[in-house]
Chains A and B, each alone.
Chain A
């Protein structure tokens, strides 16, 4: 009996230990997780920002001041120490995010969250994310050891922080998912830059377009997806003289698209990823100083994508938003210049059909067989055996789709040609921009930038403003890469690149301002073929109209424009919809909602109901118009908003307006408007019953979601902010202005900035999400640009990093 008791109590003890020490499904190992000395209770604190820390490899002392928003002001004696300190501080405040982003970039999420991420991981690896990062490192090893050296310094800084961590110090997410940080490497910085490239230059619809072309024919395709809309208000002003360009566009070969049927395509980045930037010259500025603004539109996440810092050495002094994992300031200013970016969307992904020999070791090219090379992707999966995925590489790039992935072609596949795989030295552009003193040095810095192509806006204390559209762009033949191409025909390869000095740009234009909002970069007069799967057509016009509306502008005007909620899209279609709808069959409820939207002045402010009615009404209408594009077994993308509105207004009787399902009836735009309205009304009533009302703030319910699938505990919901996609204040549900900056080019520059998050990555810190409310209200932080390492009133504490012998 006593033996039995002993054994039972022993088993019970071991069982309890096991249960509390093991991660079970999504439940963390609860004993490890909740105990007060190494569990989450140790994360219940605001970070320390004072004291002395010794760091191996540091050459000199580094002074780090903090202000009351946890912004670090870093004063190093040389660049090597500066980037070590940046690595150290980024890890100190954002370690989990820093590492997680590179896991996501390289397709390693299965390692952390298990098999459910396998499809994601395979996609990222087949997209060649790791391959692209390897190319970038190889390029720097060969051509630029200095930049690679700084990237190594950054890695050393991150690792110095990781090394001194004890398990109780790990960020809470590690405890939740039960893993620990690994060493940082220069490749991780390259991966982070690949992640940005994917986010901003990883979107394409080539395969969907191929299906569309096959199903609808060339004429319909061109009607629905024109290269230029009937209006263009391009980034580079229309009147620009291009006569200095002496290189011609690649001549058109006799090439035919390959009209395959593609069932499923890989996941794409968020289509709203974009931004606004603009700058006005001294003559247009109320104070006589140029003013510059930038607001990148990205997913609204916590921890935020941005981390604000001042980074200085005796030779330079930069301030602005950094991205954990990348060196130097990304969107910011120094004593002489300010810069910011918006995405210069351009089609830099093309697809080639390749045919293999019998054992898939060779592929057909130019009438011969060329060798395939192989990259084995070894994917670790938490709690399971590794998954090995063999990816075939051609000279085009990785064969993403083949018999092993989203395709059933035994001896063929689709290879991806992507600028992201070309290697390059993107990091150098930012390191040089941080130090640039004038227009020439800004142009000098830009030449290293390959991808993602950006509209780099510029202003200087000398009084110049400029905007360069910088990236490495293939010099394509007319229409090249819009559809799937035959990969065996050399004429389909990218033949050359547009020489960098012929990238579209403008300096001190007559109109006194430069701006970009992801619209068409140029008009038809630019001598190269320019195409992308969709250009913004609303924000750009609101911004340009604003700057053409009066003579002088102030910082206050800039704030107003950042927060401008005018819905030009609605203004262009709602009056037409109201006018062309037969209101006679509407009942009382429908009539009252009809009157509500009729009274709307097209501002997407939080207390309006108009924006919600418009979203519902137009949303339903769009689906009805493009019912032809709903298909289970063919990948299709329906046309863009601008062209949809154009067709509704100008081709109301077109056969696309007819609803396919109703065989005995032929609908026109007018019918669709009424059907859409009535179904919108019933949805709005549902929303009203559920949420009390359908005011815009309530309807949109903007949120900033934690990077782990918006884990509610670490996210912020129902943020009261107006705007929407295609509006200058581009805040939709979970996407919008992720950093807002305004810099006036006084000497030294004075600046405002804010972002929807906080400087800390720790959900237990008061600095985790403390800026969100001010951001939503359209307020800014006054950025304290320190001119020397002397602490000012704004500084509340100082951390000193000292060399360790």
Chain B
């Protein structure tokens, strides 16, 4: 359980730091790294980094958007199309980031397993 919490925060912090030097896929790097160094078990392998990045991206986009009355988010939510709802767009942003991070973490887990037993 402890590892879940460590992993959760470590993923967010590393993703945040890496975002200054790497493009959007820095979240994959972050999730991969934490899965190697803070090992998790079963479904948590996917869901902890998934939730971490969902929260990170969701909140980050909310902060940017709410400061500007959701002007652009409302438009992009028409473009995609999400009925013009900016909050669904934030949720989608978070889920996409989370999904990517989760999958990268599964890959990291497999690498960790290989190096341990191999």
Contacts and interface: CB of A to CB of B under 8 A. Distances in A.
A13 B114 contact: no
A37 B97 CA distance: 12
A244 interface: no
Given A31-B25, A42-B64, A172-B72, A16 B93 contact: no
Interface residues of B, number: 39
B33 interface: no
Given A43-B72, A45-B67, A38 B79 contact: no
A20 B28 CA distance: 12
B113 interface: yes
Contacts of A41: 60-61, 64-65, 72-73, 93
A496 interface: no
Interface in B22-70: 23-25, 27-28, 57, 60-61, 64-65, 67-70
B114 A6 contact: yes
Nearest to B102: A16
A711 interface: yes
Interface string A757-782: 00000111110100000000000000
A2 B93 contact: no
A229 interface: no
Given A32-B24, A764-B71, A766-B69, A37 B117 contact: no
A713 B100 contact: no
Interface in A723-771: 762-766, 768
Interface string A156-195: 0000000000010000100010000000000000000000
B47 to A, nearest CB: 15
A5 interface: yes
A223 interface: no
Interface string B78-118: 11000000000100110011011001101101110110010
Contacts of B71: 44, 763-766, 768
Given A37-B24, A46-B68, A172-B72, A16 B99 contact: yes
B66 to A, nearest CB: 9
Interface string A40-54: 111111100000000
Contacts of B14: none
Contact of A36 (B64, B72, B106): B64
B19 interface: yes
B114 to A, nearest CB: 6
A45 B111 CA distance: 41
A35 B97 contact: yes
Contacts of B104: 13, 16
A752 to B, nearest CB: 27
User: DSSP class of A's interface residues: helix, strand, loop or mixed?
Assistant: helix
A764 B75 contact: yes
Contact of B73 (A2, A5, A44): A44
A233 B98 CA distance: 69
A6 B24 contact: no
A714 B114 CA distance: 50
A31 B61 contact: no
Given A16-B99, A32-B24, A713 B75 contact: yes
Contacts of B19: 37
A763 B75 contact: yes
Contacts of B93: 34-36, 39, 41
A35 B57 contact: yes
Interface string A1-41: 01001100110110011001100000000111011111111
A764 B106 CA distance: 37
A256 B99 CA distance: 73
A9 B72 contact: no
User: DSSP class of B's interface residues: helix, strand, loop or mixed?
Assistant: helix
A17 B89 CA distance: 20
Interface in A38-76: 38-46
A176 B75 CA distance: 13
B68 A44 contact: yes
Nearest to A31: B24
Classify chain A: how many residues form its interface, as a range.
Answer: 35 or more
A251 interface: no
B103 A9 contact: yes
Contacts of B64: 36, 41-42, 44-45
A275 B60 CA distance: 47
A152 B19 CA distance: 37
A2 B110 contact: yes
A712 interface: yes
B100 A34 contact: no
B107 A44 contact: no
Given A35-B24, A38-B24, A44-B71, A711 B111 contact: no
A712 B75 CA distance: 9
Contacts of B99: 16
Contacts of A43: 72
A347 to B, nearest CB: 43
Given A21-B25, A31-B24, A714 B61 contact: no
A18 B96 CA distance: 13
Contacts of B92: 34
A712 B68 CA distance: 20
A192 B24 CA distance: 35
Contact of B68 (A37, A38, A167, A764): A764
Nearest to A4: B110
Contacts of A10: 107, 110
A711 B75 CA distance: 10
B115 to A, nearest CB: 11
Contacts of B78: 712-713
Contacts of A713: 75-76, 78-79
A367 to B, nearest CB: 61
A30 B24 CA distance: 10
Contact of A31 (B72, B89, B96, B111): B96
Given A6-B114, A35-B97, A36-B57, A13 B72 contact: no
A17 B72 contact: no
Interface of B: 19, 23-25, 27-28, 57, 60-61, 64-65, 67-73, 75-76, 78-79, 89, 92-93, 96-97, 99-100, 103-104, 106-107, 109-111, 113-114, 117
Given A31-B25, A35-B27, A35-B93, 12 more contacts: A2-B117, A5-B113, A9-B107, A20-B96, A21-B25, A32-B23, A36-B60, A36-B93, A40-B72, A41-B65, A713-B78, A763-B75
21 contacts: A2-B117, A6-B114, A9-B106, A12-B107, A13-B28, A16-B99, A16-B100, A20-B24, A30-B96, A31-B25, A31-B100, A34-B97, A37-B19, A38-B23, A45-B64, A167-B23, A172-B72, A176-B79, A764-B71, A764-B72, A766-B71
